[in-house]
């Protein structure tokens, strides 16, 4: 019984690592193309943890929030110009992004 539980836990950890790696590819490609990214999230559903670092040179918050969510069934990178991603944002957050930094 314990070995099955360990196997399931190990499977979930490996899946989370693969999802994180996959979504990191999306994030790095967006950053390389100068697209503004609101959030890099591992998992779906309710928020468990979120962090938005501070740039040590400027003292301002970094643009991308890093999130961990309750259900380890996927992940996403929320980018400016993506209508699905902008559904949860305020108009001020959307308007603060320069047009040249959006997907469109």
Which residues have a catalytic role annotated? 23
What's the rounded Cα separation, in Å, for the pair 64 and 72?
Answer: 20
What's the rounded Cα separation, in Å, for the pair 36 and 72?
Answer: 25
DSSP H or E stretch at residue 38: strand 37-51
On the 0-12 / 13-18 / 19+ scale of CB atoms within 10 A, 27 is: buried
Only one residue has tokens 């559904």, namely 87
**What contacts 31, CB < 8 A, 6 or more positions away?**
37
């Amino acid at each position: 019984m314990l070995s099955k539980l360990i196997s399931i836990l190990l499977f979930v950890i490996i899946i989370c690592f693969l999802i994180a790696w996959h979504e990191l590819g999306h994030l790095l490609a967006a950053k390389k193309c100068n697209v503004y990214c609101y959030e890099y999230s591992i998992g779906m559903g309710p928020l468990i943890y979120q962090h938005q670092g501070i740039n040590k040179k400027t003292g301002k918050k970094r643009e991308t929030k890093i999130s961990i969510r309750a259900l380890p069934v996927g992940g996403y990178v929320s980018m400016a110009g993506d209508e699905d991603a902008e559904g949860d944002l305020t108009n001020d957050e959307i308007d603060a992004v320069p047009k040249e930094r959006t997907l469109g």
